[in-house]
Structure 1
Amino acid sequence: MNIVQLLASTEPAESQGIAALGLSPLAILAQGITFLMFFSLVKKFALCKIVDTIETRRKTIEESLNKAEELNKQNEEAEKRVNALLGEARKESEEIINKSREEAGVIITDAEVTAVAKAEKIIADGKLQIEAEVLKAREALKKETLGLVARATEAVLGEAVDSKKSESIIRKALEETK
């Protein structure tokens, strides 16, 4: 080879394989060894604690979920009991209202019957009182009429007629007119 050829070959040669990507196999090997050492240190000192912490948290979360599920079941049961109690309370209140209405109807009916009876009694008493007053008025009218007739007879006959005699004469006359 000649010098010219050697100088001409001083141009950089193209890299091939992994070197073409700019990666060095030694650097990759060194990084792999470093990673394995770091992983073994983390595994030995930190990974157990991390796993224990994660496991503790998992158990806590699982217990919390179980408690939440149990509380949901209790809540549903409580809601069912409350709804049942509310239904019973509604039925009882409806029964009480219906009984109250019935009792009110009975009381109103009794009051109406009592009022009608009192009104009828008042009317009957009024009629009796009116009849008694009419009888009194008739008796008073009879007496007054008898007195007037006696005076008229006395004036016509010119003699005094005693009250018994005039009364008998007037009654006779009244009976004849009937």
Structure 2
Amino acid sequence: MHAYYAGHPGAVLAQALLVHGIAGLALAVVAMSLPGSTTGPLRRSARAAGLTAAFLSLFQATVSAAATHGARSTAPSQSLAYFHAINMTDFVKLIALAAFVSTTTALVAGPGRLSAFLKTVGRFLLILLPLGGSSFLFPNPVCEAALDLSLVLLLCWTAALGACVRSRQRLTLVLGGC
């Protein structure tokens, strides 16, 4: 790990900014833009879970930047500590994302508001995100496959949810749901 940080600081930093930094900022925007009543407990829970995941993502970007800054003069054990911190944070972030997906799905899922497909994907993500995150603690092919699948489903869920919320705001669900 140390050799990679020292030998490719620009690539590590670029990846961290794309994977953790931009994603964290985008997640914060989504969490702050949730529809629903302004004081509802479900909305507050969804927002808190989303902002927690966003903060953790931004923390990962910061740790990655620290890992690359002066990596050539850093002890290998320090580079390994940075790597472990990023991975442990990823595990916790995926649990926060599972909570965000679950509460957000419940928040926007009312009669005719959200398709059964998106509700089902939300339920799967509640299981797959923490299971995939456990691959950072206990690397194995099943957890790694769950992680890969969960990240693809999370992107699809987010895009579809945004489209449903946007169309509901625009068309007030003339078609009876997304």
Give the number of the structure whose alpha-carbon radius of gyration is greater. 1
TM-score (norm 1): 0.21
Q: Relative to total residues, which structure has the larger helix share, 1 or 2?
A: 1
TM-score normalised by the chain length of structure 2: 0.21
